[in-house]
Amino acid sequence: MDDNARSQPQAHAAIVADGLQKSFRSRTGTVDAVRGVDLAVEAGTIFGLLGPNGAGKTTTLRMLTTLLPIDGGRAEVAGVDVARAPREVRRRIGYVGQAGGADLGATGRENLLLQARLHGLAASDIHDRVTELVDLFELAELIDRPARTYSGGQRRRLEIALGLIHRPSVLFLDEPTAGLDPQTRASLWDHVRALRSGGTTIVVVTHYLDEADQLCDTIAIVDRGTVVTEGRPHELKAALARDTVIVQPRLGPEEVAELRDHLARAVPSTTAVVDGDVVRLAVDDGTATLPAVVEFLRREHVPIDGISLAGASLDDVFLAHTGRSLRDPDPTGSARR
């Protein structure tokens, strides 16, 4: 971090992080969960932190939202230094954690009223603001019922309303659509986009590729505690200049792995990975490579259920930068933070 960065605050940056670090001590030693994360989030955009479980996304988010002390580096959120003025940061941000945070025994309205009061909303403003959010998130019919009785999607809407009660300029959402059905997800994304139109900056932590791809304006891909690449999803994919040939053989797991090895030798590919029961070959030019793959499979009499060609996905971007697939089970087995 140099003095230059400090003296020239980026006018449109809602979040700036320089070299954020966090370690946890465990029985087996020290775990460096976040190892120098740099971020710059433009105001009024949806920013995604994408990565596998245990990558350090949530730990980063927890530092930015004042929930965890910062071990190293510094962060500014909504123009305020997080370590120096955590309370000022809390006034300016909304936060919806993985677990959600609704008080399940209380009614939706009681939840909203308490949150409004703790944020110091004027008594005259509280009623209007609650009504406004209840309408916006279509909660009118259930607002006086205990939150315990809500469906997953209803509860998520209440929790986002809780995060927005004080009209924060930055809203943090940690895995906002985990466990929701596709329809509810899509409707939640619409709500998030509407917030962006209203000028709110939204930071979304996700391990869902489609969420990062379709919802976020900019994403940072996080792996093992660092940002491996950052940019607009379509630019990240375009920069790869890469296609994927997906072969679905009718084979057992060991034979699929064997086929992967053979294909990697037979066809000019950047990487070849087994993903469930399919082999994914990352290639520079799919239309040129596909015939060679087909020819190889025919010659070797490999029984196949399907073969297809796909453009680059964010998973390919992740693979290109880390050598692993986001779909792989978490190799370290570390708990989500």
Partner 1 sequence: MSTFASQTWWLLQRKLLESWRAPAWIVVALSTPLLYLALFGPLLNSIVGAPGFPPGSSALDIFVPGVLVIVAFGAGMGAGWTVITELDTGVLERLRVTPASRLALLLGPVLRDVVTFVVPAIVVTIAAQPFGYHPDATGTAVLLVLLSLLTIVVSAWSNALSMLLKDIGSLASIVTGLQLPLTLLSGVLLPLEIGPTWMRVLAHANPLYYAVNAARDLAQGSILTTDTGIAFAVVGALAAMTLTWATRVYRSAVA
CA nearest to 180, candidates 202, 201, 200, 210? 210
118 binds partner 1 (CB under 8 A): yes
**72 part of the interface to partner 1, by CB under 8 A:** no
Q: What SS3 class is residue 208? A: coil
Residues 139 to 178 in contact with partner 1, rule: CB under 8 A: 159, 162-163
Give least dist CB 47 to partner 1, A: 18
Q: Which of 6, 12, 84, 117 binds partner 1 (CB under 8 A)?
A: 117
Closest residue by Cα to residue 328 from 275, 257, 272: 275
Q: Does 82 bind partner 1 (CB under 8 A)?
A: no
Which amino acid does the sequence have at 246?
I
Q: Does 80 bind partner 1 (CB under 8 A)?
A: no
3-class SS of residue 139: coil
**How near is the Cβ of 244 to partner 1 at its closest, in Å?**
37
> Rounded to an integer, what distance in angstroms lies between the CA atom of residue 170 and that of residue 163?
10
Q: What backbone torsions phi and psi does residue 106 show, to the nearest 5 degrees?
A: -90, 160
Q: Which stretch binds partner 1 (CB under 8 A): 111-119, 137-145, 210-218, 266-274?
A: 111-119
What backbone torsions phi and psi does residue 328 show, to the nearest 5 degrees? -60, 145
Q: How far apart are alpha carbons 191 and 157 in whole angstroms?
A: 9
Interaction between residue 27 and partner 1 (CB under 8 A): no
Determine if 101 is a binding residue for partner 1 (CB under 8 A). yes
Of 94-102, 182-190, 212-220, 243-251, which part binds partner 1 (CB under 8 A)? 94-102
Radius of gyration, alpha carbons of the chain: 23
Determine whether 281 is exposed, middle or buried from the number of CB atoms within 10 Å of its CB (0-12, 13-18, 19+): buried
Task: Tell the smallest beta-carbon distance from residue 81 to partner 1 (Å).
Answer: 16
Listed ranges 65-73, 245-253, 284-292, 301-309: which one lies at the site for partner 1 (CB under 8 A): 65-73
**Interface with partner 1 by CB under 8 A: which residues?**
24, 65-69, 87, 90-91, 93-106, 110, 114-115, 117-120, 159, 162-163
